[in-house]
Homo-oligomer: A and B are copies of this chain.
Amino acid sequence: MKLLKGNIVYSPKLGELVTLPHGALLLDDDGVLCDILPAAPEHADAVVTDYGDALVMPSFVDMHLHAPQYPMLGMGMDLPLMEWLNTYTFKTEARFADTDFARRTYRRLARDLITGGTTRVCMFSSLHTDATLILMEELEKAGVTGYVGKVNMDRNSVPELEESTEQSKRETLRWLDACGQFRYIRPILTPRFTPSCTDELMAWLGKLAEERGLYVQSHLSENDGEIAFVRELHPDCPQYWETYHKYGLWKDHTVMAHCVWSDERERAAMLEHGVTVAHCADSNINICSGVAPVRTMLNEGLSVTLGSDIAGGAMLAMSRVVTTTIRVSKLRHMKTDGKDGFLTVDEAYYLGSTAGHRWFGADGGFAKGHPLHAMVVDDAGFAEPVRELTLRERFERAVYLMDKNAVKAVWSEGRNVI
């Protein structure tokens, strides 16, 4: 057994925060969480790791990001969407035909994720099979767990970044065959978005998802122009989501990024089919897509998680994504004259952590019976407070101010990876 001592903080439910000053987590030898203790036992038959006065919190989950856009983080932010895609995005992704470049970039990305406290991801690669396998390798080596998708896109791209329908199918199968080597990273089917995939490819992917029991991720209702284009491509579908539904891609555990403009009917279809929203606040502002109605989604009972969406988003650190999500929700709060209550820090942290872990089947913040996902945050480096702070106050300050220097240890899938 292992005993981790520290100040335990977690959000078991939306809007709830549990704080256990000088508490402890009890793990079995495989790193599975057996118990959450309000106080560390005097004599425990366990190997003790004492994190002292640091905060021990569930790690972050990044439910939407584009790994091959990491090289363009913080660039082209003033361009309109189509110009941004053509000047930066597609050309950047095309570079991942070079496996050496992919290796260097993905090693760096994997390290930056884990040092920022992100231990689970649901991630887009590019269309390149080899680079995708390299990405999975590097994530696994660094201790990041979760799902990665080789992107499918057989239309409406640029010449450097398009595959034929046949090629897309063949490469998808080659990729899937090679995924058995990974223990902590699994494949997820990833049609880029409706405009990028022919009906034939979509239908084939839907069938494959069913046959092999694979999850699906894509984009939905991000902005006006995109929605109009989808309508043009699928005149038989009254709404965007139906272009996924008709091919069997709209199902339990499907992750849809953005959903900025999803109306009541589209949201009801998410709830009915178990589709999860990956809300990407920073990206939605940077590209001027809009502000998603997160409070409404939560009130309706939807599963809402957060994504950094690099490089539409310009920040990889999920702590910053969480506070940006709060800020954006405050703007919506003001815009709706207070009707849409803003997200509190407890709520936004829940979305960036617990809600994501829940998608992976591990509910409750710190999930008993599951391998531990946690980060240890040392706030001793922040400015000296004027009085002793409560653990709740320290939690809020940590979420607002933490950077990788404050992350002292990380546990991912039961393993101490930092």
The answer on a CB contact under 8 Å between A71 and B383 is yes
A75-88 contact mask (Cβ, 8 Å, vs B): 1 or 0? 11110000000000
- Knowing A70-B383, A323-B314 are in contact, say whether A288-B335 is a contact too (CB < 8 A): no
Interface size bucket, A side?
A: 35 or more
Contact of A384 among B105, B291, B400 (CB under 8 A): B105
| Cβ-based interface call for A229 (8 A) | no
Q: Does A396 sit at the interface, judged by CB under 8 A?
A: yes
Q: In the complex, A105→B384 CA distance in Å?
A: 7
Give the distance to chain B from A284, nearest Cβ to Cβ, in Å.
10
A108 within 8 A of B: yes
Q: Mark A386-415, 1 if CB is under 8 A from B, else 0.
A: 110100010011011101000000000000
Q: Does A334 contact B (CB under 8 A)?
A: yes
A77 touches B345 (CB 8 A): yes
- Which residues of chain A (71-129) have a CB below 8 Å from chain B? 71-78, 91-92, 95, 101, 104-105, 108-109
Docked complex Cα distance between A291 and B72 (Å): 29
Whole-angstrom CA separation of A72 from B387 in the bound complex: 10
Q: Is the CB of B108 within 8 A of A383?
A: yes
Report how many copies the assembly holds. 2
A331 at the B interface (CB under 8 A): yes
Q: CB-CB < 8 A to A389: which residues of B?
A: 75
A77 and B396 within 8 A (CB): yes
CB atoms of A335 and B335 under 8 A apart: yes
Asked if A182 lies at the interface with its beta carbon under 8 angstroms from chain B, I say no
B residues near A282, Cβ cutoff 8 Å: 327
Shortest distance between the CB of A214 and any CB in chain B (Å) = 30
Q: A397 is contacted by which of B74, B108, B344 (Cβ under 8 Å)?
A: B74
Q: How far is the CA of A403 from the CA of B316 in the complex (A)?
A: 14
A290 proximity list for chain B (CB < 8 A): 334
Asked if A204 is at the interface of the complex by the 8 Å CB criterion, the answer is: no
> Chain B contacts of A401 at CB under 8 A?
73-74, 314
Q: What would be 25 A-B contacts, judged by CB atoms less than 8 Å apart? A: A70-B383, A71-B385, A72-B386, A73-B383, A73-B400, A74-B401, A75-B397, A77-B326, A77-B345, A91-B386, A92-B386, A101-B384, A108-B384, A282-B327, A285-B327, A286-B327, A286-B330, A288-B330, A288-B333, A288-B342, A291-B331, A314-B401, A328-B331, A335-B335, A403-B403
Q: Residues of A at under 8 Å CB distance from B?
A: 70-78, 91-92, 95, 101, 104-105, 108-109, 282, 285-286, 288, 290-291, 314, 323-324, 326-328, 330-331, 333-335, 342, 344-345, 382-387, 389, 393, 396-397, 399-401, 403
A72-B385, A314-B400 known; 19 new pairs, CB 8 Å cut-off, are: A70-B383, A71-B384, A71-B385, A73-B382, A73-B400, A74-B382, A74-B396, A74-B397, A74-B401, A75-B393, A75-B397, A76-B396, A78-B342, A105-B384, A109-B383, A285-B330, A314-B323, A324-B327, A327-B327
